[in-house]
Amino acid sequence: MTNKVRVGLVYGGRSGEHDVSLQTALAVIKAFNHSKYEIHPFYIDRQGGWRSGKALHGPVGSIAELTFETSFSL
C-alpha cells in the first residue's frame, strides 16, 4: 500500500459567507480521489474558533459532519 498525500482543508469562518464555505467544503471533499488523498478538515466556527476532526478517508454525507466539538488555539 502506498502512502496517501495529506491535504488540509480550511473552511467556515466569521464572514457572511460561512454557509457557502461549508457547502463548498462538502463539494471539495466529494471531488477528491480518496484512494490517493487523506483530507484533514479544519473548521472555523462563526465566532472565529478553530476546530478539527479526524482525517477523512471518504466523502461525508452532510454539512453536520463537517462541524466538530474539538477546538484548538493557534
Q: Residue 53: what pLDDT?
A: 87
Number of domains the chain contains: 1
Q: Residue 12: what pLDDT?
A: 97
Local mean pLDDT, 10-residue blocks, the chain (74 residues): 88 96 96 95 94 90 84 60
Its domain, for residue 50, covers: 5-72
Helix and strand counts by DSSP (H, E) for the chain: 1, 4
Residues contacting 30, CB < 8 A, separation 6+ = 59, 60
Grid coordinates belonging to 5: 498525500
Residue carrying the nine cell digits 480550511: 10
Neighbours of 50 (CB within 10 A): 16
Residue carrying the nine cell digits 478539527: 52
Q: Residue 47: what pLDDT?
A: 94
